[in-house]
Structure 1
């Protein structure tokens, strides 16, 4: 593995890590020395490819399945994760939680159904909330919680009528937990990606549409998953130990 190995001896859980930003985060944390739990819902083959890539590069990773769209999803993930920690480690303790799993629906308020709203709230806010709650006894003092939000919480995108409010709630949770967990030296931050070329953002991957988007970005291009992974890796490292309760814009200066 290349890199500084800033996370050697640490254990990390990354949700929604079978592709896109989550996969890049898992690979970067592993490159920095962490043992990484790669969570997925239905993309088992993709998740195991991420694990294989990490292992093939000399790192350590394992895959875990849980459906975070279900009310029982967080509880199920905690059960399988802590069981695997107990099997692999002296005790069921870990150091870094990255709540990356998310789902979006591009629709204005007129077109969002109650079912849409409930699903977006469950995956983007409720599951991270209860995942954090259940894992707090297992998170080491001096640990890290990093929640992946969106720059759509600071800029008005009418087509994010349900997605943006759910992510804004995740940022509010990050701030209050930073205070609540400060006595344990646990830092809690949110990272706000802008337009990033992933499966979840088809326009950012399209050659024509991405050029139009790039015109709204100060640095002149859409983001890549690696751009976001670098920010997360910094926050997870000792160098990020004095940063907490922040919502960090990682958009390249989109719509400033």
Structure 2
């Protein structure tokens, strides 16, 4: 199956279920798109050969999950996917795995070690004790679409492929892409919540976005609140909350 010239039709995204997967709510906006199929690939199952995009999500322990990724044979599947012209996206820990090396010489995630990455992006990651946790205002460089996301990770990632950064975060370039343009990664979570970026991203696969995700979420919350008002005696709950005193042991 040659994916390099595939146009139109439904977009199939394969997501390997890492043993320490994190922030998988990044996928929720994509799941809601009618023209997108998100397949969570369970351990013991191969990455599907007909996937248009393999998305490697975040991890609570990148080096350990990289070992798990290899133990499932997913590295072999990923290289085959890449040779067929398939696209690959790594978010946070997934981004780190796609690089050439991950070094944790201070033993922050486990025993001090330095391991080879998947090598599909020419960058290297060094782990540091200080964890980055921050809300971010970002911009998708190819189109200028604004993104409101967040970072939560250990380590820094840089290398020759950083010259092909594809996101600007708080005024600095972020992320990296392979020379052939098929493999990209960045640290930013919440990318796909923004309708503008998600629409631009899907257009790269000849798929149109058909939802307003933020509006849909607000609608669901409004419906939930309205149903709670019908089903619950909110005045009684409020009155009870004023009479209950906390007990301290």
- TM-score, length-scaled by structure 2: 0.38
Q: Report the structure, 1 or 2, having the larger strand content.
A: 2
**Bigger helix share:** 1
Q: TM-score, normalised by structure 1?
A: 0.37
Radius of gyration: which is bigger?
2
